[in-house]
Copies of this chain bind each other. A is one copy, B any other.
Amino acid sequence: MTKQRREVYGLLLEDASHPTANDVFRKVQDRMPQISLATVYNCLEALVTHGLVNQVNFDREPSRYCANLQEHVHFHDEASGRIHDIEFKDGADIMDFLNLPEGAEITEMELTIRGKLPSRD
């Protein structure tokens, strides 16, 4: 854990907006003006490979990063453009939904939903 990694990680812990590498770069620059974009990419990669952070890909958009390690689904609100974390219901198992061939093993799964959230007035 270097200064830079701690800074990037700290930012992700506070900021649940699923920022891109560039977003992270701009925000971290406030506190470490000399940091480079490549370092931000390196830090994010290190955090991801060490399992502290998840990399989230949506369509062909730039990757986003989030420090919410609990298993969850991403909901892209079309109105606001924001991404929300949605949890599974208790006891829900995706295997129950799918016609998976006998003996298939799931390593990892990613579910992304696009839609509209009710506007809260």
Contacts and interface: CB of A to CB of B under 8 A. Distances in A.
Give chain A's interface residue range (CB within 8 Å of chain B): 35 or more
A112 B115 contact: no
A99 B87 contact: yes
Contacts of A50: none
Nearest to A78: B107
A107 B115 contact: yes
A54 to B, nearest CB: 12
17 contacts: A75-B100, A78-B107, A86-B98, A87-B98, A87-B99, A88-B97, A88-B98, A89-B98, A92-B98, A102-B118, A103-B118, A104-B115, A104-B118, A106-B113, A109-B111, A109-B115, A110-B113
Interface of A: 57-60, 63, 73, 75, 78, 86-89, 92, 94, 96-118
